[in-house]
Amino acid sequence: MPVQPILSLAGVGKTYKSGHRALEAVDLEIHKGEIFALLGPNGAGKTTMISIVCGIVNPSEGTITVDGHDAVRDYKKARAMIGLVPQELSVDMFETVIATARFSRRLFGRAPDDGYIEQLLKDLSLWDKRDSKIMALSGGMKRRVLIAKALSHEPDILFLDEPTAGVDVSLRRDMWKLIGRLRERGVTIILTTHYIEEAEEMADRVGVINNGRLLLVDEKSALMKKLGKREMDIALVEPMTTVPGALSEWDLELVDEGHKLRYTFDAQAERTGIPSLLRKLGDLDIGFKDLETSKSSLEDIFVDLVSEREQEEAAL
Amino acid sequence: MNLHGIWAIYRFEMARALRTLWQSVATPVITTSLYFVVFGGAIGSRMQQVGGVNYGSFIVPGLIMLTLLTQSISNASIGIYFPKFTGTIYELLSAPISSMEMVIGYVGAAATKSVALGLIILATSTLFVPLQIAHPLAMIAFLILTALTFSLFGFIIGVWAQGFEQLSIVPALLVTPLTFLGGAFYSIDMLPQPWRTVSLFNPVVYLVSGFRWSFFSKGDVSVAWSLGFIALFMALCLILIAWIFKSGYRLKS
Ligand SMILES: Nc1ncnc2c1ncn2[C@@H]1O[C@H](COP(=O)(O)OP(=O)(O)OP(=O)(O)O)[C@@H](O)[C@H]1O
Ligand SMILES: [Mg+2]
């Protein structure tokens, strides 16, 4: 049985008043309960896309549906389901932590619930700071306050726009724990990031965006398989200065000042070419002492994709 | 109707004033006292009476109006400008709250504050001059209507403004001069022609006149005109605000 997506974008595009085309007709469906990572370089259009869904930026075209509610016509129902942690640290400096969390809950139409707010602040290690003015908090703490505000009305969908920008390792780990707990409660999470490891570690699906275009959307594992190149490093006994001509049929390069031969191959291909390469090395009397293979990270995939697109565009 | 949302904004705005309670109250009280010393004491001792009313008492409605207009505008305009400036407006824009509910929260709070100030000034005045209020209900009605209308106007200025200077431009360049020229401290009957006629084009004349009528049963123009003018200006502000939210003007990109 096909499940209705909790959020869907159909042909959503944005041209800013400056004439800048920040988003090209994006089609995207987010499933309930998943963690979706939107990955892209600076200026790709991630914040623009999120802002449109949340009602902060008017779309130039397209429709957005949140759990069956049109985000424009039925905006109250749609927005009540969404919490947003913005990229910028925009907070009311003169407010206290607990006052701002209570404010957000009410603003989103929910009756006060001190028990919930208390638990939320405790989960975010903000309870001890509840009566502090926000301006007296550190940057990482301010980000937690923003998360508390976004979660104060118990949203079904949480947007995190670069949640770990300017956040230290321990807070980042806390953040992942929190996201894990939210997912257990069934909260759908959409996050943007430049940090590939983040998407790689947490996301179920990844969307790659560049120049306002959603280049591809796929299961993270499928994406890794589909595009994942593998590398094998062959540690040589004797360093080389050039790759011998007899090895030209393999895609080899010298790294580590000639101490290693690097072979790049497609792990999904039927023939990886590894056995024949090793045989050939034996034939040529090239001694090696170690072999090491590695998966390419999402980062490599991403760089590949972006440059592929750019080449395609240049070819047009 | 997102009543919780309206209440959240209203409370937030009131809390902002309470944090600076001392300034919010002391400034107008001191200013008013100074006006009484200068106008009531120094000038009033030579003028004695205006239209049968002791000059010191005569200027009370004008003084209250002056504060009401400037405070309504500045309260409401800062209320909405500040979130734009700090970026916290993202939350308002992403909340399930209609534009009118947002306006009710901000304008309601701004109007509440300026009405409270008006009453404080009124109370301060009684320390300096004898006062009786002929139509207390009408007086309260004028106070509230004017506060609401100019808070709406202030809200529009706050949306329009792109810098702190612009926030004070309209009050400083328009409202204060119009109030001074609008019979706050004199009756426009005292003016020679053609200034008397010119004054009738000054909207503040109608506000001050109506308000003064509620104290002394007489004004420069009839009460109906005063009420009509406030209603008209309020309608204009509401139309403008509806348009601002519909078009997203300067709030959304
Ligand atoms: N209000 C605006 N007016 C005009 N152009 C804008 C506006 N906001 C964003 N842009 C432009 O739109 C493009 C996309 O911006 P956006 O903020 O969505 O990128 P992003 O993917 O979030 O980048 P980052 O990773 O740096 O946060 C950029 O080129 C940006 O300059
Ligand atoms: Mg961004």
**Res B245: pLDDT:** 81
CB-ligand 1 contact for A46 (6 Å cutoff)? yes
* Chain B hits for A56, Cβ within 8 Å: 90, 93-94, 252
Of all protein residues, the one whose alpha carbon is nearest to atom 26 of ligand 1 is A42
Residue A264 falls within a domain, yes or no? Answer: yes
Residue A284 falls within a domain, yes or no? Answer: yes
Residue A28 sits in the same domain as residue A160: yes
CB-ligand 1 contact for A44 (6 Å cutoff)? yes
- Domain of residue A104, CATH code: 3.40.50.300
* Chain B hits for A60, Cβ within 8 Å: none
| Residue at a domain's end among A225, A251, A280 | A225
CA distance A135 to B139: 42
pLDDT higher than threshold 70 for residue A299? no
Mean pLDDT of all residues in B37-57: 73
Residue A22 sits in the same domain as residue A99: yes
User: Domain of A256?
Assistant: 229-295
**Res B86: pLDDT:** 92
Of residues A230 and B164, the one with the higher pLDDT is B164
Residue A72 falls within a domain, yes or no? Answer: yes
Residue A285 sits in the same domain as residue A195: no
Residue A212 per-residue DSSP state: T
- Domain of residue A233, CATH code: 3.30.70.1560
- Cα end-to-end distance, chain A, whole Å: 41
Residue A314 falls within a domain, yes or no? Answer: no
Mean pLDDT of all residues in B71-99: 93
A16 touches chain B (CB under 8 A): yes
Nearest atom in ligand 1 to A87's CA? 27
Residue A111: which of B4, B12, B98 has the nearest Cβ?
B4
CA distance A273 to chain B (A): 54
CA distance A111 to chain B (A): 7
A266 confidence band (pLDDT: 50, 70, 90): confident
CB-ligand 1 contact for A58 (6 Å cutoff)? no
pLDDT higher than threshold 70 for residue B42? no
Residue A14 sits in the same domain as residue A155: yes
Of residues A309 and A242, the one with the higher pLDDT is A242
pLDDT higher than threshold 60 for residue A298? no
Residue A308 falls within a domain, yes or no? Answer: no
CA distance B123 to A2: 70
B193 touches chain A (CB under 8 A): no
Of residues B146 and A310, the one with the higher pLDDT is B146
Residue A139 sits in the same domain as residue A117: yes
Residue A54: which of B15, B94, B97 has the nearest Cβ?
B94
A86 confidence band (pLDDT: 50, 70, 90): very high
Ligand 1 centroid to residue A47 C-alpha, Å: 7
Of all protein residues, the one whose alpha carbon is nearest to atom 3 of ligand 1 is A16
Average pLDDT taken over every residue of chain A: 88
Mean pLDDT of all residues in B241-248: 82
Residue A165 sits in the same domain as residue A218: yes
B246 touches chain A (CB under 8 A): no
| Residue at a domain's end among A190, A225, A260 | A225
* Domain total of chain A: 2
Residue A119 sits in the same domain as residue A33: yes
User: What is the DSSP annotation of A234-300?
Assistant: EEESS--SS--GGGTTS-EEEETTTTEEEEEEETTSS--SHHHHHHHHHHTT--EEEEEEEEPPHHH
Residue A217 sits in the same domain as residue A272: no
C-alpha A137 chain-centroid distance: 27
Residue A141 sits in the same domain as residue A153: yes
Ligand 2 centroid to residue A161 C-alpha, Å: 7
Read off the pLDDT of residues A110-151 as tens digits, 9 standing for 90 and up. Answer: 999 999 999 999 988 899 999 999 999 988 889 999 999 999
How many percent of chain A have pLDDT more than 70? Answer: 93
pTM of the complete model: 0.84
Residue A214 sits in the same domain as residue A233: no
| Residue at a domain's end among A178, A200, A225 | A225
Residue type, B168: S
Mean pLDDT of all residues in B70-77: 91
CB-ligand 1 contact for A40 (6 Å cutoff)? yes
Lowest-confidence region among A199-208, A248-257, A301-310, B216-225: A301-310
**Res A1: pLDDT:** 46
As to burial, measured by CB atoms within 10 angstroms (0-12 exposed, 13-18 middle, 19+ buried), residue B130 is exposed
How many percent of chain B have pLDDT more than 90? Answer: 39
Nearest atom in ligand 1 to B253's CA? 1
CB-ligand 1 contact for A87 (6 Å cutoff)? yes
A75 touches chain B (CB under 8 A): yes
Residue A244 falls within a domain, yes or no? Answer: yes
Nearest to B181 by CA among B220, B142, B232: B220
pLDDT higher than threshold 90 for residue B53? no
B15 touches chain A (CB under 8 A): yes
Residues 6 or more apart from A75 whose CB is under 8 A from it? A55, B96
A109 touches chain B (CB under 8 A): yes
CA distance A17 to B90: 19
Residue A136 sits in the same domain as residue A261: no
Residue A285 sits in the same domain as residue A160: no
